[in-house]
Structure 1
Amino acid sequence: MTQIDYFLALQSPYVYLAGRRPAEIAAKHGAKLVYRPLDVAQLFPRTGGKVREERHPSRNDYGTQDRARQARKLGVTLDAAPLFRSANPAPAAYALIAAQAAGGGDLAGFVQAIGRALWAEGKDFSDDEVIRAALAANGFDPAVADRGMLMAAETYAANLEDAVAAGVFGVPFFVVGDQKFWGQDRLDDLDLYLQGKL
């Protein structure tokens, strides 16, 4: 079975814009989608990038315009400056890792719910109640993250190291064997590659 390693940061607007499409593409091709959340603030400086606060204003201005256009194109709500954008991403990432290990629920739905909480609903995506509600709404035991905390923390750190080793430098990033696809706007290319057309 083909495996797609999906490197992501749950606070990324582009992960939010990717929505369910990675899971839909994987299902279409009978591939296994493995969610690999990581600390993107540590990934950027290790791979030649900069966090938003360190980028030139022209880059940030363009990003704001581009995200607004992409959101309109996809028909989703996206707040240009969400209140909790700088909240700690680790708790939601740990929950995703623990939920994936436990199985039995809708991982794509959880990722989408966390993104929607931040980018469309004005919620603190690091808040325990927001995370528990997203887990429960997608078929997971809301306490799964509590039980898997140590394993999740270790996996979160390992995902960063694996990402750097694999040549990942941003999110969302998809790795299939030696092929790499960066950005929600490259999902069509991922689909075509899995069809054998690229």
Structure 2
Amino acid sequence: MAHIDYYFATISPYTYLCGVRPAEIAAAHGATLTYRPIDLMQVFSRTGGQAPADRHPSRQDYRAQDLRRRAMATGKPLIPKPAFFPTNPAPSSYAIIAAQADGSGDLAALVAGITRACWAEDRDIASDDVIRDCLTAAGFPAALADSGLLAGAEAYHRNTEDAVRLGVFGAPFFITDSDERFWGQDRLDDLESYLAGRT
């Protein structure tokens, strides 16, 4: 059985545009999937990248065009400049880590709900109320927003360190147990082809 480590950031628009598709791809090919939220700004700073606001205007302009096209291709609504971006991604990441350990709800729906809250609903995903709403909607106890904070912080730090060590430089980023790597929402088809044995 193949395994995929899914490195992502809850403030990443490209993670939002993945929706629940990573889980669907894994399930279709009998693969397991581990969600690994990371501190994307730390990853950028340590792997030669820059925060979007610090990039050259030509890169910012291209990103805006690309996001519009990617959103249209996926059929997902996207707010180009959300009211709460950037925001602190740690609280929502800790909640996802706690939910993965809890296992009582739909983790793919939780990740999709949190990222959608930022990029399609203009909500602050650093807010406890927003995180609780997303947990409940995905079938998890709302109390997970306040539990395991130390363990969540440790796992978040560990995920970020592992990401840098393994060559992750953006989000979303998928690494299989055979060390095949796929960066970006637009590489999900390639990941699926690989799991199907076509590439």
Shift of 1:25: 0.3
Q: Tell me, what secondary structure is at the counterpart of 1:125?
A: coil
C-alpha distance in 2 between matches for 1:34 and 1:145: 20
- Identity, % of aligned pairs? 57
Q: Tell me, what secondary structure is at the counterpart of 2:35?
A: strand
Written as runs of structure 1 = structure 2, the 5 A alignment for 1:84-163 is 84-163=84-163
Q: Write the deviation string for residues 133-191 of structure 1: whole angstroms up to 9, x where unpaired.
A: 10011110111232211111000000011101111100000000211000000000000
Counterpart of 2:49 in structure 1 is 49
Structure 1, gaps ≥5 residues long = none
C-alpha distance in 1 between matches for 2:143 and 2:61: 39
C-alpha distance in 2 between matches for 1:92 and 1:147: 12
Question: Runs (4+) of structure 1 moved beyond 4 Å?
Answer: none
Counterpart of 1:35 in structure 2 is 35
C-alpha distance in 1 between matches for 2:126 and 2:152: 15
Counterpart of 2:194 in structure 1 is 193
AA matched with 2:198: K
Structure 2, gaps ≥5 residues long = none
AA matched with 1:189: D
Shift of 1:50: 0.9
C-alpha distance in 1 between matches for 2:111 and 2:147: 19
TM-score between the two structures when normalised by the length of structure 2: 0.97
Q: Tell me, what secondary structure is at the counterpart of 1:34?
A: strand
The answer to whether residue 79 in structure 2 is matched with residue 61 in structure 1 is no
Q: Write the deviation string for residues 15-71 of structure 1: whole angstroms up to 9, x where unpaired.
A: 000111100001101111100001000001111111112210100100001101111
AA matched with 1:47: T
AA matched with 1:103: G
Counterpart of 2:22 in structure 1 is 22
* RMSD after superposition: 0.8
